A = this chain, B = another copy of it.
Amino acid sequence: MLVVDDEPGIRRALQRGLTAEGMEVVTAGDGPSGLQAALSGTFDVIVLDIMLPGLSGYRVLQRLRADGVNTPVLMVSAKDGEYDQADGLELGADGYLVKPFSFVVLVAQLRALLRRGDGVSRLSIGDLVVDRAARAVTWAGRPVELSPREYALLAELSRRSGTVVSKDELLNAVWGDEQAATRNAVEVYVGYLRRKLEAVGAGHVLRTVRGHGYLVEP
């Protein structure tokens, strides 16, 4: 996760506390460097202060979303006006915390965001709907029954729809870091997925890009 806050004391405290909770923490002290780090899109969740030198938290969030990065963001602020919160949430924040906050509450919120995966509980790509909360997939309203592995594969491809995802990336994201399976397993499961999608008339959703990977068209 990424922590963006201008107070070194807070950064150190969160770094220590969250590391102890088993999380991997990277910190940044100002808006521009926080934005740069966040743009990499490799974080699972971001804690973002509003009062920041260089670039306010609002702006950082705005730029992030504008660039298509939908990493969940937990905003943190000393102010507690209702409007501040509304502004933040409207810009695409996934949570809001007022300083001073209890460390336990922070951890609880972060865990909630992490569990949701990307903060977006429902992906819609044309007629394809992947409801991550209900763990269900439909095509034009018709339900598609998927095994856990098939679902995880389609969810990952849908999350990154419009971009080609390589088999190795899929192995990492769907099968986990231990990479117990071979690349052929990905091919097999793409085959399973296609068969089930074709049965409801959605065979063309999952495209092969030879030599590179697979792609769900946006």
CA distance A61 to B89 in the complex (A): 20
A204 → B minimal CB distance (Å): 14
Partner of A133, one of B40, B105, B134, B162: B162
Find the B residue at minimum CB distance from A110: B40
List the B side residues contacting A105 at CB < 8 Å. 26, 28, 33, 37
Contacting pair A209 B135 (CB below 8 A): yes
A112-B36, A164-B134 known; A148-B82 Cβ under 8 A? no
User: Please, what's the 1-or-0 string for A39-60, where 1 marks a CB less than 8 Å from any CB in chain B?
Assistant: 1111000000000011000000
**CB within 8 Å of B: which of A72-119?**
82, 85, 89, 95-98, 102, 104-105, 108-109, 111-112, 115
**Which size bracket describes the interface of A in this complex?**
35 or more
CA distance A148 to B213 in the complex (A): 11
CA distance A201 to B130 in the complex (A): 30
**CB within 8 Å of B: which of A143-195?**
147-148, 162-164
A215 on interface, CB distance cutoff 8 Å = yes
A22 on interface, CB distance cutoff 8 Å = no
Partner of A39, one of B27, B29, B112: B112
A105-B28, A164-B134, A164-B135 known; A42-B111 Cβ under 8 A? yes
**CB within 8 Å of B: which of A185-218?**
209-212, 215
Partner of A210, one of B28, B33, B37, B147: B147
Contacting pair A27 B102 (CB below 8 A): yes
Binding site for B on A (CB under 8 A): 26-29, 32-33, 36-37, 39-42, 53-54, 82, 85, 89, 95-98, 102, 104-105, 108-109, 111-112, 115, 133-135, 147-148, 162-164, 209-212, 215
A-B interface, 8 closest residue pairs, ranked by CB to CB distance from nearest:
A148-B211, A40-B108, A133-B163, A39-B112, A40-B112, A36-B109, A135-B164, A37-B108
Pull 13 A–B residue pairs with CB atoms less than 8 Å apart, ordered by A. Answer: A32-B89, A33-B97, A33-B105, A36-B95, A36-B108, A36-B112, A37-B112, A53-B82, A54-B82, A135-B164, A135-B212, A147-B211, A148-B210
